[in-house]
Structure 1
Amino acid sequence: MHQNALSMDVRLRIRHLDPGCFALVMATGIVSIDVGQHGMTALARALFGLNLLAYAALLLMSALRLRWFPRELLADFVSPGRGAGFLTLAAATCVLGSQCLLVVRLPRLADGLLLAGAVSWAALVYLFLAAAITARIKPGFTRSINGGWLVAVVATQALAVLLVLRTASASAFDPVGLFTALCLYLLGAALYLLIITLVVYRLVFFPLRARDFTPPYWINMGALAITALAGSLLVRHIPPADSLTPLLPFVKGFTLFFWATATWWIPLLVILEGWRYLWRRVPLRYEADDWDIVFPVGMYTVATYELAQALQLDFLQVIPDVGVYVSLAVWLFFAVAGLRRLFRHRTQA
């Protein structure tokens, strides 16, 4: 009887699996890279092992959902308010691939994840946009657009980051790979400027209930941070005598522009969180979307670390030196909250 109840609970979880569930992998991956940059090698590798298991488990659950509940999955995918969450698969794949190069030395696995990330990015970005454009019945503007749409930017830049890292770690210089990474970086920047215009328009000119200010709005900052990371890595790894070298001043200025804008977003997001929980007293409950807060916080720290090295701005190093502990604390907070909720559901079942 207990086994049947447990089996039903598992099927129910798979049926209602959140489209953005791979944000857990993105968050754990970037925190692993973050602590690894600060010499916490054992912890970084432990988080990599945990992330590998989480990625495999979520991949299996997603495959089972596609097999058992294709209608629900398709309904989520064509929903403008939820469909963008599926792009976390592409972003998480690339973040895990970056871990394979920065945290552990698994270049062959990184190559496989690079290929999987590129294929999933291309398929999901175009299919999601095509579905949104061609839908015959569309919900209102406020029900369609949210910060989650910016996962398209995160996935694009995560692919650019992994491509730069893989090109830099290869024994032979790959100009095509570096050029492709630069094009992805510029494409991600263009997508951000396009999407954030809609997001800010929604926030400023339409009523926003406290419950509607959900964690995906933190991607407003996270998408900028990963763009700054991609740009910083390009600055560091474009050879001095390469044909792309004349573009370096442009890349440097653009990268600093995105980092500065990411920095500007942080106080506003914190104020809005205070408005949501302290002023409007929305109950504090764990949701899968909460990992959309962890990833931007960790990514901002990692991006600042790389930016300080790329532009030789040593005074910025204090930010990642403090930020690494902030991102780790935020990750631990939501990890404990998630485990408590899982344990509570198991005991009730």
Structure 2
Amino acid sequence: MTVVDVVSSRARHLSPGCFARVMATGIVSIDLDQHAMRTLALALFGVNLLAWPILLALTGWRLIRFRRELVADFVDPGRGAGFLTLPAATCVLGSQCLMVVHWPGAARVLAVLGALFWTALTYLFLVATITARTKPGFTRSINGGWLVAVVATQSLAVLAVLLAADNPAGNDDWLFGALCLYLLGAALYLLIITLVVYRIVFFPLRAREFTPPYWINMGALAITTLAGSLFVRHAPMHGPLRELVPFVKGFTLFFWATATWWIPLLLMLELWRHGWRHVPLRYEADDWDIVFPLGMYTVSTYTLAQALGLDVLMIVPAIGVYVSLLAWLLVAGSASRRWYRGVIVGGRRGHLR
């Protein structure tokens, strides 16, 4: 098996949500940097500097060589929303460029790319879903993965606020855009989560159907909290945007409280899935959808505590940073082990044949 064969195989079977690993790695890196673990934060930043272009190249390869499979995934309501991890990951990497290192030029480029990816993929996915002639049933269409649309929107809002804070001169336009994206993301969450809750509460849910993307139920709220908290911290001292700060504070606290409420329920459902129904614990690409919400909840709580002056909340990130790092290490280790078995061991067997 040649290198080209391996790359083609990886590209052909690339998961629509493959960029979730960049999102997870990026937010854990930011989390570590907030807690003065610079070496680890920079190491994960380096991982993302490699992972993002490699995944982008594989996606481009798949678009050129295996377009039919890619289009089939994109128009599938149960899988297509995963492609929105591309703009989300692009913006998370841009946020790393400002929060972990100071590369404002790279952050601006990534913000432009993230905005282009977000606009194109969001509208194309919705148009493809709405205009499809044949549609699967409701239970096979809607899942927690749809909330990546919220994550992508809020990740762009977060990056816009950070860029505004990095260049205070004339930052009102950036902040206004960020606020609009924040409110849009909030509206999308309220719309989509209604469908998700209706699906899991009023239709049978098998243990194997409770997949990691359902953790985005909490993760989408956490990144909304982060976007709102950053806006509160960097809002101008005077002008119309300043008058909206009290509204944003209350709305942001509402989303954080709801994110907190989700965590025990999700943990109980994981115990039901693996402990009661005995679904095996094995690596799947969607596992990164658990790491990202855990890291994002920690970072958003840290930022919210600063924005509202609530030092009592600091106990959450003080513990959460180690939880998110452990989750990243476990998933990354499982992914590396599967890659080794599939590529190295499988490649040797293919060569021997």
Match among 338, 345, 348 for residue 346 of structure 2: 348
- Deviation, 1:231, is 0.3
- Deviation, 1:171, is 4.7
Which residue matches 1:167? 164
- Deviation, 1:10, is 2.7
- Deviation, 1:242, is 2.5
Which residue matches 2:305? 308
Deviation per residue, 1:197-216 (Å, 9 max, x gap): 00000000000010000000
1:100 matched to 2:97? The reply is: yes
Deviation per residue, 1:8-34 (Å, 9 max, x gap): 333222101000000000000000000
Which residue matches 2:7? 10
Which residue matches 1:278? 275
The answer (yes or no) to whether the contact 2:17–2:83 under 8 Å persists in 1 is yes
User: Scaled by the length of structure 2, what TM-score is found?
Assistant: 0.97
Match among 188, 192, 201 for residue 191 of structure 1: 188
1:67 matched to 2:44? The reply is: no
- Output the amino acid matched with 1:347: V
Secondary structure at the aligned position of 1:80 is classed as: coil
Which residue matches 1:293? 290
Q: Gapped runs of 5+ residues in structure 1?
A: none
Which residue matches 1:116? 113
> In 1, distance between residues paired with 2:216 and 2:88?
13
Sequence identity (%): 70
- Deviation, 1:7, is 3.6
Match among 118, 122, 125 for residue 128 of structure 1: 125
- Deviation, 1:52, is 0.9
Count of aligned residue pairs for this structure pair: 346
The answer (yes or no) to whether the contact 2:172–2:236 under 8 Å persists in 1 is no
**Range that drifts further, 27-36 or 12-21:** 12-21
**Range that drifts further, 165-174 or 308-317:** 165-174
- Output the amino acid matched with 1:44: A
Q: Gapped runs of 5+ residues in structure 2?
A: 348-353
User: Scaled by the length of structure 1, what TM-score is found?
Assistant: 0.98
1:214 matched to 2:225? The reply is: no
> In 2, distance between residues paired with 1:228 and 1:166?
18
Secondary structure at the aligned position of 1:244 is classed as: helix
**Range that drifts further, 307-316 or 172-181:** 172-181
Which residue matches 2:143? 146
- Deviation, 1:285, is 1.1
The answer (yes or no) to whether the contact 2:143–2:213 under 8 Å persists in 1 is yes
Which residue matches 1:42? 39
- Output the amino acid matched with 1:316: L
> In 2, distance between residues paired with 1:117 and 1:17?
20
> In 1, distance between residues paired with 2:164 and 2:267?
37
- Deviation, 1:348, is 2.8
> In 2, distance between residues paired with 1:13 and 1:75?
17
What is the root-mean-square deviation of aligned Cα atoms in Å?
A: 0.8
Which residue matches 2:81? 84
1:234 matched to 2:231? The reply is: yes
> In 2, distance between residues paired with 1:242 and 1:41?
37
